[in-house]
Amino acid sequence: MLNKSFKIRPLTDTFGAEIYDIKLSGEISSEDLAQIKALWNRYEILLFRQQDIGKDELVGFSRLLGSLETHVRSEWLNETHPEILQISNINVDGKPVGALADGEVGWHYDQIYLPRPALGSLLYSVKIPPEGGSTFFADMTSAYERLPRSLKDMVDGRQAIQSYDNFNNLYSTKTSSKQTNLTQNIAQPLVRTHPVTGRKALYLCPGMTIAIAGLEETESTDVLRQLFDWTLKTEFVYKHLWDVGDGLLWDNACTMHRREPFDGGHERLMFRTTILPADDRSVPF
Ligand code: OGA
Ligand code: MN
């Protein structure tokens, strides 16, 4: 039987696509799943609008893409569905129910600070403020492929130091001592080969990358600044304006993201699942 192709709309010239006519809460055939995975690899981020999806279904759909991680920030996991990390500024009994509150969240790659970072994240919007709180994504594959020769020569074969602590100091809250032990600073390749597609992408982000290994501090700072300036050129960036019911699936091996702040007088609630890579492809190279 011939398989129907999803109708899609590219979000930018190089990456991102909205997929139409799919209900993430419904049955997903193996043909549809293969197509979603192929589109995800090709486009790096996929947008599914007008979803009406419960927690069981969100977890169920996410599991089709890989096994799921229980995030290290246990204080913000959903009570009944620990596979879901809540991102929110809502407080209950004086305690935040989710991560990242209402402030600016700088550019970061989810989990670049772990030895085996997740391959993807799926963020589903439950409640959004009337304005602000948009999320921006940068296409690090194109940023690498178009990198000027002089900078390419600086990054190829090098490693950089990634720090979750740096990110938390700037944009979040401190980890507990147990969480700190699990998230120590780590060196990762500065150019990462995608574990599925084999394409190369810049693997660095202003929020977590604190130094290039093997360079003097001034040179490291200077090269990082040049690389950040380059990757943040508008041609590599997509801005997502949220609607309730949007599901956004991104690739953590080749995109980084940031969120703009919003008025804390309004509530924002998002559910995130975190998708692990296959065991034999899990260490960045
Ligand atoms: C995340 C994240 C930003 C946002 O879920 O990893 O960075 O827009 N979220 O809430
Ligand atoms: Mn994130």
Q: Above 90 in pLDDT, residue 1?
A: no
Range 122-142 average pLDDT: 98
Confidence of residue 3 (pLDDT cuts 50, 70, 90): low
Q: Quick one: pLDDT at residue 188?
A: 98
Q: Where are the domains of the chain?
A: 8-278
Confidence of residue 141 (pLDDT cuts 50, 70, 90): very high
* Best residue for ligand 1 mutational test, from 135, 208, 240, 250 (most atoms within 8 Å of Cβ): 135
Query: pLDDT tens for residues 182-221?
Result: 999 999 999 999 999 999 999 999 999 999 999 999 999 9
Q: Is 75 helix (H, G, I), strand (E, B) or coil?
A: helix
Average pLDDT value over all residues in the chain? 96
- Which residues make beta-bridge pairs with 92? 95
Confidence of residue 279 (pLDDT cuts 50, 70, 90): confident
Q: Is 21 helix (H, G, I), strand (E, B) or coil?
A: coil
Q: Quick one: pLDDT at residue 280?
A: 86
Q: Above 70 in pLDDT, residue 2?
A: no
* Best residue for ligand 1 mutational test, from 84, 97, 100 (most atoms within 8 Å of Cβ): 100
As a three-state string, the secondary structure of 78-147 is CCCCCCCEEEECCEECCEECCEECCCCEEEECCCCCCCCCCCEEEEEEEECCCCCCCEEEEEHHHHHHCC
Residues 47, 33, 13, 106: is their CA dihedral positive or negative?
A: positive
Range 138-149 average pLDDT: 97
What is the CATH class of 8-278?
Answer: alpha beta
Q: Above 80 in pLDDT, residue 129?
A: yes
In whole angstroms, what is the distance from residue 157 CA to residue 196 CA?
Answer: 20
Range 52-78 average pLDDT: 97
Q: Is 240 helix (H, G, I), strand (E, B) or coil?
A: strand
Q: How much helix, strand and coil, in percent to the nearest 5, is found in the chain?
A: 25, 25, 45
Range 12-32 average pLDDT: 95
Ligand 1 neighbours (beta carbon < 6 A): 87, 100, 105, 110, 121, 123, 135, 257, 259, 270, 272
Please name the amino acid found at residue 139. D
Please name the amino acid found at residue 132. G
CA of 259 to the centre of ligand 1 (A): 7
At 6, list the tokens: 């999803």
Range 226-234 average pLDDT: 96
Range 114-120 average pLDDT: 96
